[in-house]
Amino acid sequence: MAKTANVFTRVDPQIKEQAENILNQLGIPMSNAVGMFLRQIVLQNGIPFEMKLPPSKPLGYHRLSEEEFDAALQEGYDDIINGRVVSSQEVKAER
């Protein structure tokens, strides 16, 4: 039997459960998936997928204080009043 080493990590329980559900459907044990990931790091000489920040998304209002929320609403209102708007057709054309 090949020598093995243990890897211990803490992960979000929901993410672990979701990953396990997918891996179970694929018939791949979690330990094999982690081993595959580590092998790819070695083969690729780095993380085996692109890592970048997601496109800018609007903040959820629950993350804003009342003052920040009011300021964001006022900014949007000011944009409308001053004609700083983009039509839905222009947004679709940018995709």
In the numeric block, the tokens 């940018």 are attached to 94
Whole-model pTM over 0.75 = no
**Residue 23: closest CA among 11, 42, 36, 10:** 36
CATH of 1-52, one of 2.60.40, 1.10.3470, 1.10.1220, 2.120.10: 1.10.1220
pLDDT one-digit tens code per residue, 54-95? 777 666 777 788 898 899 899 999 999 999 888 888 888 887
**How is the chain split into domains, by residue range?**
1-52, 61-94
Q: Which uninterrupted H or E stretch holds 32?
A: helix 30-44
Tokens found for residue 74: 């006022």
The Cα 11–Cα 17 span in angstroms is 10
